[in-house]
Amino acid sequence: MMDRPGPRRRSFELPGHDRSADPAVEALTQLIESERDRALQEEPELVATQDPGQLWLRWFAIGATLEVCALLERHADEYRDQVLRQVGALIFGDGIQSDVDPARAEPRLRDLFESAGADAVQACMQGDGDMAHYLAGLRVSAARGTRSPLN
């Protein structure tokens, strides 16, 4: 079994922003990157075949963001949108935008990955260090024979 990489250490400041990063953004970014990295390390072929456009990872990020905002009692759409944009920019480099049309995602799988993101946040809050919620969603996607759409 291969060793899992530790958390990445990097600046969580977005270019052009003077203020210090929101701790929610830092925590979400680390959580999502850890989930993605684990999936890539353990089953890279599954990631490549089931989520080539990273649409499911984006839905995972949306679910995780909504859950963190709910836990922090930050219910304003403006705050949630800001956090999601910052997390998306740090993970995907282009914000949460994608060439993949989210409307083409199968609704049940979209909901599965959104719930997996929320579950990952809850598990993290409870101290569960065995994170593999995104990977579990990819396995369900593969079992159903459904991949994230490309372009």
List pLDDT tens digits, range 9-61.
333 344 444 334 678 888 899 999 999 999 999 999 999 999 988 889 988 99
Q: State the Cα–Cα distance between residues 95 and 88, nearest whole angstrom.
A: 4
Q: What is the pLDDT of residues 127-151, one digit of tens each?
A: 877 789 999 999 998 998 777 766 4
Domain ranges of the chain: 23-144
- 3-class secondary-structure state, position 94: strand
pTM to 2 decimal places: 0.78
Name which of 103, 90, 8, 14 is nearest 55 in CA terms.
103
